Amino acid sequence: MKVLKFGGTSVGSVLSILNVKKIVEAIDEPVIIIVSALGGITDKLLAISALASKGNAGYEADLSEIVTRHLEVIEGVIPCVSLQNEVREGVMSLFDELGNILKGVFLINDLSSKTSDTIVSYGERISSLILSNVIKDARLFDSRKFIKTAKQFSKHIVDFELTNRLIRQAFTPLPRVSVVPGFISSSKENGEVTNLGRGGSDYTAAILATALDASTLEIWTDVDGFMTADPRVISSAYVIDRLTFTEAMELCNFGAKVIYPPTIYPVYHKNIPIRIRNTFNPCAPGTYISKERNDTGKSMIKGISSINDTCLITVQGLGMVGVIGINYRIFKTLAKNGISVFMVSQASSENNTTFAVCNADADLSVVVLNEEFALERAQGEISDIVAEKGLATVAIVGENMKRTPGIAGKLFGTLGRAGISVIACAQGASETNISFVINLKYLRKALNSIHDSFFLSEYKVLNLFIAGVGTVGGKLLEQIRIQQSTLMEQNALKLRVVGVANSKKALLSREGLNLDTCIRELKEEGDNSSPRHLCEEILKMNIFNSVFVDCTASAEIAGIYEELLKNNISVVAANKVAASSLYSNYVKLKETARQRDIKYLFETNVGAGLPIINTMNDLINSGDHILGLEAVLSGSLNFIFNTLSADIPFSRAIMMAKEARYAEPDPRIDLSGKDVIRKLVILAREAGYKVEQKDVKLNIFIPEKYFEGSLDDFWNNIKELDAEFEAMRKKVEAEKKRIRLVAKMEKGNCQVGLREVDRYHPFYELEGSNNIIMISTERYNDYPMIIKGYGAGDNVTAAGVFADIISIANIR
């Protein structure tokens, strides 16, 4: 025998009721069907009765709408006209009774709890009457005759001994199909109508399943089962196939509204499994709940649940320390006033106790506790009770967490990297639930971060904001687009570009942008923006696993790094401005990233895609010390000096470098040596030396006057140096040497200047726009480490930025 509960939208329309009929008639064993009110009528009846109690005649029109809807359903689900008329007559009789009760409420302007319980019972009674006439051979029962309650404070508690005996009597013999209205019951003392509270139809089903030793309890609803998290917040949430009773209870208590929490207690003691099914998707397997643990999952936790209606109440004072009975008085006072507490956290010093209640109970909690501890407050032993609103409670749940080291560490590490502060936390000795309270504005971010970190998501996700979508940024977007499917298939990594910006506009989308069209959409639909505005919008979005990617050369963009890092957003920069700025700023950015356990990466600041900075860091982290560096770091200048020939003068070589995009649009930036200085400063700092740009000795090879005036002036005047450089070229060619702009650092002393190198020198064979660096360390002293390759170009620079992004994704 099975017990099936159908509720809410499961019996809310003609289609859903016909689905119920099909599901039940396909079962070849006795079935008991528990029915909720049709389509959420209970809430509407409560609203109507409230109107009537205030003398508002509008309740009649609202009741008429409900009547009309039920009559339409009857016509849609019962094809036989004579049976339609019979059912319609029965339903209208019940609605007439209901109308008379509501009229009485309207006339006396009063609504007692007894009358309210009677009014809301009509929803289930009418729905079950309709459904019993839809399903073949179904017999209708009245649950008021066998589910008996006793009053305890303001609630009706089931008398299980009496109820179980009456259920067995009522269902002997057991019909093929039984239909029972859920939610409603009656008092064992006087037979008056009572109810089992919100979600009581689930509870009704569990009570009958336990009393009659059902093989299974099936809860048919409008979702496929328990989800790993709220799918409205986390799009990658998926159905959990198996849960233990304990796991299901923990998830229900913390906001997963799939089943009513007390439903689990009765069936747990008889080990009757529960299966959650979807009326609108009956082929889905749903979630199976039993005593058996399932250890085959890929994650230590089964799901994440949350309550966004949270207020923390704190009772504190030195007068609490060592005093027996303080907590007894706290919770006794709350219980007397009908206030439910769903989380408790206490300091081991005993000088404070913090607990969570819903916001609606917060003010009353403060009042009654201030009264209870009035004497202690007057004596200064206990402070005034404090309530903190605007919070959310999150719980991670899973029996596999038991005796597994590192779960709490991973949880709080994940929250820390996301920049989320935990206000209070609690974990029982059962180790199946870790609960914590955070600011409500961080709830979405927290849920996504945890879901991603504990591998409940199919993919690890990085959310990228890309500033600068011209040459390097455009290539980066193209590389991400091409590689996206491979990263998802092979690395379970999803790179989601949620923002792009240029110097004037920004385009942001939490769901992600289309990489094929986002640059065009930025130009056509982007909002006017500035670096400061962009920063504010990124922080406002508050997205988990965020990475800001700077493909500009803007000092203003570099100026927002610190604020982004302080808000736990990693930064990947092709922009050299920040890392080569004042040493104090460089240290501050690095230190902020370290403290926040996020990343500030700028590998492409030097050598484009060459692994120079990472290699230096690996050497230092392994205990080596960098003594000196010697490098050709300007791909554009190397291209210029390699291109010089009898046929190509100096001025023409500069133009060719610009056309090939090796040089900046304004080549004076490269020719001044300032770009190389910035690169050398970055390398020296990464090697462990405190160096400023002004400390670098520059042996300038182009007179200062050529850097003055406009860019057009430069192009007109630079030809004056063609003869001088041709003479230099002939000289070194005759001596079988070549010209290189060399950056050198020796124990913190830095200089940049032209040098003639012979054919035995490693710099001699440096082709095109390539870069090269020789690193001398204590280990690599006699034979320095050499890194050589493309040092300029949009594609290789974008690839280097891409590599930095991937390195962030691999942090777990």
CA distances from 502 to 499, 557, 576 (A): 11, 10, 17
Residue of 807, 812, 804 whose CA lies nearest to 449: 812
Positions marked catalytic: 679
Contacts of 802 (CB under 8 A, 6+ apart): 476, 479, 480, 483
261 secondary structure, DSSP code: G
Comparing 51-60, 120-129, 149-158, 265-274, the range with the smallest average pLDDT is 149-158
CB 329 within 8 A of CB 371: no
Identify the bridge partners of residue 278 per DSSP, sorted by sequence position.
221
pLDDT in tens, 321-337: 888 899 999 999 999 99
pLDDT in tens, 386-406: 899 999 999 999 988 887 888
Token pair listed for 208: 């009958």
**DSSP reduced 3-state for 229:** coil
Token pair listed for 205: 């089903």
**Does pLDDT of 339 surpass 50?**
yes
**Cα gap 57→61, rounded to integer Å:** 8
pLDDT band, residue 812 (cuts 50/70/90):
very low
**Cα gap 44→49, rounded to integer Å:** 9
Backbone angles phi, psi at 495, to 5 degrees: -95, 115
117-126 burial, b if ≥16 CB within 10 A, otherwise e?
bbbbbbbbbb
Identify the bridge partners of residue 304 per DSSP, sorted by sequence position.
396
**Does pLDDT of 444 surpass 50?**
yes
53-88 burial, b if ≥16 CB within 10 A, otherwise e?
beeeeebeebbeebbebbbebbeebbeeeeebeebb
Contacts of 432 (CB under 8 A, 6+ apart): 246, 247, 250, 397, 398, 399, 401, 402
Q: Per-residue pLDDT averaged across 633-648, rounded?
A: 92
**Does pLDDT of 775 surpass 90?**
yes
pLDDT band, residue 255 (cuts 50/70/90):
low
Residue corresponding to tokens 């056509």: 524
Backbone angles phi, psi at 582, to 5 degrees: -55, 140
pTM of the model: 0.76
Burial-class residue 694 by CB neighbours within 10 Å (0-12, 13-18, 19+): exposed
The Cβ-side half-sphere exposure at 460, using a 13 Å CA radius, reads: 18
- The pLDDT, as a whole number, for residue 280 is 86
The Cβ-side half-sphere exposure at 174, using a 13 Å CA radius, reads: 17
**Does pLDDT of 579 surpass 90?**
yes
Residue corresponding to tokens 């959420």: 40
pLDDT band, residue 722 (cuts 50/70/90):
very high
Q: Which residue has the higher pLDDT, 556 or 669?
A: 556
pLDDT band, residue 7 (cuts 50/70/90):
confident
474-496 burial, b if ≥16 CB within 10 A, otherwise e?
bbbbbbbeeebeebeeeeebbbb
Sign of the dihedral defined by the CA atoms of residues 663, 664, 667, 668, in that order? negative
Q: Per-residue pLDDT averaged across 496-509, rounded?
A: 96
Cα Rg of the chain (Å, integer): 37
Cis peptide before 784 (omega within 30 of 0): no
CB 120 within 8 A of CB 42: yes
Strands (E), 584-682: 600-601, 626-632
| Mean pLDDT, all residues of the chain | 92
**Cα gap 720→706, rounded to integer Å:** 10
- The pLDDT, as a whole number, for residue 811 is 44
Contacts of 310 (CB under 8 A, 6+ apart): 356, 357, 358, 359, 391, 392, 393, 437, 440
**Cα gap 748→689, rounded to integer Å:** 5
Q: Per-residue pLDDT averaged across 27-48, rounded?
A: 88
Beta strands 737-746 and 626-632: pairing type? antiparallel
Residue corresponding to tokens 């997963």: 256
**Does pLDDT of 12 surpass 70?**
no
**Does pLDDT of 518 surpass 70?**
yes
Residue of 791, 806, 697 whose CA lies nearest to 748: 697
Burial-class residue 785 by CB neighbours within 10 Å (0-12, 13-18, 19+): middle
Beta strands 697-699 and 737-746: pairing type? unpaired
